[in-house]
Amino acid sequence: MRDKILFSLAAIAAVILTWNIHTIFAAVPDELNQGPIFRIIYFHVPSNILALSGFGIGMMCSIVYLFTKNLKYDAIAEGVTEVSLVFATIGLITGSIWGRIIWGVWWAWDVRLTSFLVCWLIFAGYLMLRRAIEEPIQRARLSAVVSVFGTVDAYIVWKSIEWYRNQHPGPVLSIRNGGGMAPGMEAPLYWNLLALFCLSIILVMVRMRQESFAREIDSLRREAHSF
């Protein structure tokens, strides 16, 4: 059943991405001021949306773990956070490449970029912390605290383009009252978001399966030690 879901999601993602890449390159015109480089937005924005919302979901699972003490929620939190960090890396790197052409620099220390870098470092630290602690209960409790702390920063990242005057552009999507994109240019972004969302679910499900293998190995080792 799980494999069927994985293959279905992969098929949906592949179809949407193939069709959408054709739309982005063949149907959508160059942006007037930026030229072709603006197309990076079709991967940069969906990646960042998935990263920030993933960190939020990871935090919620961590909070549920703190209340229920069920390690299943801690495993979900880890899987979602790891995949979100991959998307955050895509967001940071694609943004930096876009900035090199539009701003003339690879990086600007404005609030949006700096808070996002801090967010990335916090969640990279979260994963390193998990590798460093052997005891599952202590690992789950401490990483839940880091997850809550990091998600506060993720919220600052999300709101920073409204709260502060940044070098980073303000909201452009109509769902955030940006209205900075023509309808024909905005729709492919949401399709890419859907495709990357399917991809992220696949990655989280694979990560969850690996967690169940790791738990089984742990329980078998305990059994072996009891002989």
Partner 1 sequence: MENRNVTFMIYGLVAAWLIVLGYVVLLALRERKLRKELDRVRHMVEGGKQS
* Contact residues: partner 1, CB under 8 A: 34-37, 39-40, 43-44, 47, 83, 86, 89-90, 93-94, 97-98, 100-101, 199, 203, 206-207, 209-210, 213-214, 216-217, 220-221, 223-224, 227
Q: Coil, strand, or helix at residue 103?
A: coil
d(C-alpha 108, C-alpha 40), whole Å: 18
Residue placing its CB nearer to partner 1 in the complex, 122 or 203: 203
* Tokens found for residue 58: 């990871």
Least distance (Å) from partner 1 to the CB of residue 207? 7
Choice between 182 and 217, CB closer to partner 1: 217
| Residue among 47, 46, 58, 75 at smallest CA distance from 150 | 58
Radius of gyration of the chain (CA): 20
> What's 226's DSSP letter?
T
CA-based nearest residue to 142, from 151, 150, 133: 133
Measured from the CB atom, is 33 or 177 closer to partner 1? 33
Given the structure tokens 């967010």, which residue do they identify? 119
C-alpha dist (Å) from residue 88 to 33, 52, 117, 167: 26, 8, 9, 19
**Residue whose entry in the numeric block shows the structure tokens 């054709």:** 22
In the bound complex, what is the minimum distance in angstroms from residue 145's beta carbon to partner 1? 26
CB of 178 to partner 1, least distance (A): 21
Q: Which is nearer to partner 1, 7 or 213 (CB)?
A: 213
Nearest to partner 1 of 152, 220 (CB atom): 220
CA–CA dist 112, 19 (Å, integer) = 32
Minimum CB separation of residue 82 from partner 1 in Å reads: 9
Using CA atoms, how far apart are residues 17 and 12, in angstroms rounded to an integer? 9
Least gap, CB of 73 to partner 1 (angstroms): 21
Closer of 141 and 215 to partner 1 (Cβ)? 215
Structure tokens at 20: 């959408």
* Residue 222 CB, nearest approach to partner 1 (Å): 10
Residue 187 or 206 having the CB closest to partner 1: 206
For residues 160 and 130, what is the distance between their CA atoms, to the nearest angstrom? 29
Least distance in angstroms from the C-beta of 13 to partner 1? 11
Cα separation, 225 vs 67, whole angstroms: 31
